[in-house]
Structure 1
Amino acid sequence: MKRSVFSFLIILPVQGYRLVISPVLGPRCRFQPTCSEYALEAVKRHGPWAGLWLSLKRVSHCHPIEALGARHGFDPVPVEICRAAWYAPWRIKPQLKDETAHR
C-alpha cells in the first residue's frame, strides 16, 4: 500500500462517509464494488493521485441518467493502468470481463 499524507486526506473523508452518511442513506450505489470501496481500493493499489482520478471518474458515472453517461454493474479497480493515460484521461477504459478471465 502506498501511504502518504495525501492518501490519508483522500481516505479519511471516504471512511467518514462510510461510517456516518452511508448508514443513514442506505445502499444506493449502482456499482459493485460500491463507489466508496472502489475509492479505497484505487488509492491503495495505484496511489493517491491515480486513485483520486479513478474514484472521481467512477463517482461521475454513478447516477440514474443513462443519457448523461450513467453506468451500473460490476466495475472493479483496474489491476494495471497505463501512466501515459494521465495525460489523456479519456483513454482509461474499464476492464473487460474477458481480460480478467485469462489471468
Structure 2
Amino acid sequence: MKKIITYPFVLLIKGYQYFISPVLPSSCRYTPTCSHYAVEALQTHGILKGGWLAAKRIASCNPWGGSGYDPVPPKKEIIDK
C-alpha cells in the first residue's frame, strides 16, 4: 500500500532528475543529492515521514545550511516483547 501512495511522488522526482536537473547547473551541497535523498526517504519511510525528511533536507540546502554526506536515517523497527 505504501508503494502505491508514494509512487506518484517518486515519479515526479524522477521526472525532475531526468528532464529538468540536467539543464540546471549542479548546486546541491549534500551527498546524496536532494532529489536522490527524497526518493530514498519516500521509499524507506513513506509519504508522511519521508516527505517531511525530504522537505527538511531541501529547506537546509542553502548557503547557511549544512553540507557533506547526509544519508536518509534508517527506519526504526518496533520490537514486541
Give the TM bin, normalised by the shorter chain.
0.7 to 0.9
Counterpart in the other structure of 1:76 = 71
| CA pair 76-12 structure 1, distance change in 2 beyond 3 A | same
TM-score of the aligned structures, taking structure 1 as reference length: 0.67
Identity %: 43
- Do residues 41 (structure 1) and 36 (structure 2) align? no
Distance 1:78 1:60 in 2: 17
TM-score of the aligned structures, taking structure 2 as reference length: 0.84
Counterpart in the other structure of 1:3 = 3
Check the 8 A contact 1:10/1:52 in 2, yes or no: no
| CA pair 27-10 structure 1, distance change in 2 beyond 3 A | same
1:48 maps to a residue whose letter is I
2:52 maps to a residue whose letter is W
Runs (5+) with no aligned partner, structure 2: none
Q: For residue 9 of structure 1, report the CA deviation from its aligned partner.
A: 2.4
Runs (5+) with no aligned partner, structure 1: 83-103
Distance 1:57 1:12 in 2: 20
Runs of 4+ in 1 over 2 A off after TM superposition: none
Q: How many residues align?
A: 76
Distance 2:19 2:25 in 1: 11
CA RMSD in angstroms comes to: 1.6
